[in-house]
Structures are given as structure tokens and as C-alpha cells.
Homo-oligomer: A and B are copies of this chain.
Amino acid sequence: MSLKDSIFGKPLATSQERAEQIGPAAGIPIFGLDALSSAGYGPEAALTILLPLGLLGAGYIVPISTSIVVLMAIVYFSYLQTIKAYPSGGGSYTVAHENLGESASLLAAAALMIDYILTAAVGISAGVGALVSALPQLEPHTLSICLGILIVIALINLRGLREAGALFMLPTVVFVGSLLVTIGLGLFRALTHGGHPIPVVAPHHLGAAMVPVTAWLLLQSFASGCTAMTGVEAVSNGVTAFREPRAKNARVTLTIIIGILALLLLGIAYVGRFYSIGATDPGQPGYESVISQLIGAVAGKGVFYFVSIASVLLVLSLSANTAFADFPRLCHAVAHNGYLPKSFATRGRRLVYSYGIYALTLVAGGLLIVFKGVTDRLIPLYAIGAFLAFTLSQAGMVAHWRKIKGRHYASMFLNGLGAVTTAITVVVVLVAKFVEGAWITLALIPLLFVLMKSVHRQYARMEKEIALDKPMTFAHLAKPLVIVPVTGWNRITEKALRFAFEISPEIQAVHVHAEEDECDYLLKAWKELVEAPAKRAGYPVPHLEVVTSPYRFILQPLLQYINEQARKHPDRPIAVIIPEKVDKHWYHYALHNKRAALLKAQLYFFGNHRVVVMNIPWYLGEGR
């Protein structure tokens, strides 16, 4: 087993594809990690905005979380319709593409790409946030830990989907289980203590309000909290990954995911209010995540706490996996339609779209570095992409129901409601988070849009240019004029010259005479060792032209000579034979000049389309 195989897994044949498909049990961790893990940062994002309200703020989390859950329910019903209508996979991009046309679909694609990238970045940063809450001495290493986790996830995904699913099952169960236990225990304590339970480990102290409660502040808190809903589109996007019956498996999976998530969001809000838990300053020493405070207050910081935090870290970090499952899939769809470079549509050795994984890893890593791995700084960029994609997808569904036959008023109403509410949310988030970073997303979406458009235009132009449905013509075939640049008489030159004789009778050798050069010797050798035997053997005699170079440049005079010959023979192909030393030892690299490669590059750049470059390799050692 090679090193490559043990890191990336053995290559999978195209025929092994079906075996990679999954059921609801595996589907929940794979497509639900993003949605479920949102419970780990959504409430905290809302509470961080309420920080200046002190103790007062902890109370407002209940109505805010409730509004988010209501919004989520609307989106849920809307997506059930999508899965029904698109059992072969109906991501926002597909739905918009089929129902709203090119521009809307590219807009959706751009929005989703940004959403997935931020899913990866925020998932990891929030997971590491949990880790440094439990082990504060790790706080200075936040960024390095984030990047390490990103690389591990990328490697897992390069190995392929199925193993990933099995790997993520356990942490998800422990995560959901421990949060549900904490919520249950917390509510029980609160009820038995008349709404004022005594925390086992006291959460951070919340002071008096520093600012008055305003609608603006609550709106901002709601906008930040909406990040708790990101990821719910993953299931409808990935229906094809399920085994048959696909639509049903997908619907069951989505229902379970949404149900658990609603429970978690409301539970965290109520228990948090009872225990007076607020956020702490993000990115500062002494930071402790809301989940960490919550578990500590309800259950203390014993074994249960550390197991829970470990699962939070794992699940939050690995929620990035949703992005790694969907981003490459989306890029493939977009590339397949010709809007991204074709390499995004090519499946690698393990049947995954490797280029998408590379791209996601790079960009998410860049974001983590720029924002130093602090979740709170990433949040403002986040929700826009997700909700814009929601809106376009639901709007597309409305168009879909209008197009197909039959009366689908109920479906149309549900999707319409989804479209309108998510569109309003986009505006709310944009307004509330503009200065903090939403503008970055707003600027990136049209940029990606234009980029995809121009990739498509370029491909279309290229395709049109090379398209040919006529039969091949055999008219005007002519033996090429072969030009052989010569530096001296040696076995490399002989090999090149022999090949020249093998392909064409007309050969023109050329030598560039610069300083410290034994030109006379070469001319003499050429007469005796090349011209004479050629005459004797009855072959056409190849002439050696000497070009002088006062400035010691080698390539420029050569290039000039070749272009001149091309002008002189306007109806013949020109074949330039460049002998190239090939050395299998990389550490000999510096010993050989790079003229062969440079000449080729320059010929291409300044060249004529009738000039063809041939590299005659001389393998060092072949003559021994």
C-alpha cells in the first residue's frame, strides 16, 4: 500500500459508485451536522449582541429563539415540497436553474458557495471556541487548532463519503444526547426551585444594562441568531446521496433534524434564562462559550461536562463536513453546466470532486486566518448567503408549481410563504449586519456571479472556435521544414538530426554564435561529420546557418530566425526540434540550462500557428 493510498484511500472504480449511498441513520450526521451544530453557535451569536444589556439580555433570548424556530418551521415545510418535487436532488442551484433561468441560478450558486465556505469556517471556529472554554490555556493557539482541524476534515473528505458518515455518527449522538440531558435536568431543577435554580458552577456574572433596550438591538440579535438555521437546506441538496426510496429517506431525515434542532434552540433559551447565562467577550482571554457555561451551571464541570464539550468540539468542527459534502457537489453541478473550470466536474481517485475540496479548504482556511479563528467575527458574513439561497430556492419552487400541470395551490402557498419570509430575513440581516461584515458577502456574491458568467462565455467561445463537423481535409499536406538549433557536435545533436531526417527531407540547422564559443570548430565538424556523410548516404545535405548575437542573448536571435523561416515558407509547417536533457535526479536541476523550455514558451508567445515544437529527450544515462 503506497503512502498516497494510505492517506487518500485506494482509488475507487466508477462502477463502485452505488455502494457509496446512505440511509437516514447515516444521513442525519452527514447532512444534519451543520443544522444541528448551529445550536452550538446560534444562541451564542444572539446573546453576544445582547451583551451590553447585562442580566436583562439573558431574558430576551427566549422570544428571539422562538421567532427563529417559527421561521425555521416555515422553511421546513417549504423544503419538504422541494424534496417531493425533486427526488433526484433539488438544491437551490438546481431549482433556480430549472425554474428561474441562468442569472437566478448563478446568484443562488454564488450565495450557496459563500454559505458553504462560512459553514466550514464557523463550524470549526465555534468548535475550537468550546475547546478553549474548557481548556483556557489553549486560547492563544485558537487559530492553529482551527487550521489543523480543517486539514483533517479535508483529508477525510478526500477519502470519500461513506467512511465519513460512520465516523461522525457517534459524536452526533453524544452531542444531541448531552445537550438534551442538560436541558431536561436544567428545566427540572428550575421547576423544583421555583424558577431560580442554584448553578453547580456559577456562570459569568452579568451586570446591569449599560444601554437601553431598543428594537434595533433586538433586530441585530435576531439577525445573528438566524445563523442557527443555516444548514437546513443540506438534505434537499443532497437527495441523490440517499438510497432508494430517496425522497422518503430524505424527508424522514429532514424532519428528524429540524425537530431536534427546534428542541435544542428552545431548550437552551429557557434553561439559559433560568440560570441567567449570557455571552462573554469573544476573542478575549477569559472567554467562555454559552454552551460551556450552560452545562457547567446545570451539571458541574465533571466527567459529563468534559464528555459533552468533547462532543461539542467534534460535532461543531465536523459540521464543516456538510460543507465538504455539498460544496464540491455544487461546484460539480455548476462546472458541468460550464460556469466553473471543468476540473471541478472531474471526480478524483475516490469518486469525490477533489478540486471542490481543495478550493473549499483554501478559502475557508483563508477566512479563519483573516478573522483569527474567532466565530463572532465570522457570523456577520454568514447568514446572508444561506437566506439568499433559501429565498431563490423557494421562489424557484413557486415557479415550478405554476409550470407543471395540476392544481398545486397548497404547495405553492407553502413555498411562497417560505420565499417571502426568507426574503424579509435577508433584508433584515443585511441591514442589521451591514457594517460588521455583511457587506463582504454582498460584494462577493456579484463578484462570483460575474466570474461564473465569464468562465461560461470563454468556454462557449472556445467550443465554438474548435467545433468541427466536417470531414477531415487532406488538401495541402506538405512536408515540414525542420529547424534544428545546434550548440555543438555531440550525440544529442546527432539524435535530433536523425529524427529530423526521419520526418522530413528538408532540414535547416542553426547555431547562435555568442561569446566563448568554438564556432569555427563547429563549422568544420559540421562539414566533415554531417555534410560529407549525408552526401555519401544520398540524403539531402543539411545546411548549418550561424546567427551572431552581439548581446550574448541566445533565445532572441533563434526566435527571430525561426519566425523569418516561417515567413519565407508561408505554406509549410515549421517543425522546431529542441533537444532536451532529461535528468531523473531532481537535484541535478541547476546543472542544466532551461533553454529548451524557455524557447518553447517564447515560440508559443511570439509564435506562428504553423510552428510546431518537438522535444527530443536525451535521457542522461541512455548513452552509457
Contacts and interface: CB of A to CB of B under 8 A. Distances in A.
Contact of A15 (B348, B514, B550, B584): B550
Contacts of A591: 341-342, 455, 458-459, 462
Interface string A79-105: 000000000000000000000000000
A497 interface: yes
Interface string A462-495: 1001111111111001111000000001111110
Contact of A534 (B346, B465, B474): B474
Interface in A97-132: none
Interface in A570-624: 573, 575, 581-582, 584, 588, 590-591, 593, 600, 604-605, 607, 609, 611-624
Contacts of A504: 503
A163 interface: no
Interface string A322-355: 0000000000000000000111011111000000
B593 A342 contact: yes
B468 A550 contact: no
Interface stretch (A219-227, A285-293, A524-532): A524-532
A483 to B, nearest CB: 14
A18 interface: no
A499 interface: yes
A231 to B, nearest CB: 29
Given A347-B515, A612-B615, A620-B465, A498 B472 contact: yes
B477 A11 contact: no
A208 interface: no
Interface residues of A, number: 87
Given A472-B494, A474-B501, A624-B465, A13 B617 contact: no
Nearest to A493: B468
Contacts of A259: none
Given A458-B588, A591-B459, A607-B617, A472 B533 contact: yes
Nearest to A462: B620
A477 B537 CA distance: 11
A464 to B, nearest CB: 9
A552 interface: yes
B499 A465 contact: no
A584 B605 contact: yes
Contacts of A471: 528-530, 532-533
Specify how many copies of this chain sit in the oligomer: 2
Given A349-B551, A529-B471, A478 B465 contact: no
Contact of A612 (B478, B539, B617): B617
A564 interface: no
A620 B575 CA distance: 20
Nearest to A538: B474
A6 interface: no
B588 A604 contact: no
Nearest to A346: B552
A472 B530 contact: yes
Interface string A433-469: 0000000000000000000000100110010011111
Contacts of A533: 471-474
Contacts of A551: 11-14, 349
A622 B349 CA distance: 35
Nearest to A612: B616
A502 interface: yes
A503 to B, nearest CB: 4
Nearest to A611: B617
A569 to B, nearest CB: 13
A491 B504 CA distance: 24
A537 B477 CA distance: 11
A622 B609 CA distance: 7
Q: Specify which of A11, A462, A593, A611 lies most central, judged by the most chain B CB atoms within 10 Å of its CB.
A: A462
A196 to B, nearest CB: 56
Contacts of A503: 479-480, 503-504, 575
Nearest to A479: B502
Contacts of A612: 499, 614-617
Contacts of A534: 472, 474
A345 B584 CA distance: 24
Give the interface centre of A472, A494, A620 by most chain B CB atoms within 10 Å. Answer: A472
B552 A466 contact: no
Contact of A515 (B14, B489, B532, B622): B14
B573 A502 contact: yes
Contacts of A499: 480, 573, 612
25 contacts: A14-B515, A341-B590, A346-B552, A347-B552, A349-B551, A349-B552, A349-B553, A466-B618, A468-B493, A471-B529, A472-B497, A474-B501, A474-B533, A474-B537, A474-B539, A477-B498, A477-B501, A478-B502, A499-B612, A503-B503, A503-B504, A584-B605, A604-B617, A612-B614, A612-B617
User: 4 closest A-B pairs (Cβ-Cβ)?
Assistant: A474-B537, A503-B503, A13-B550, A471-B533
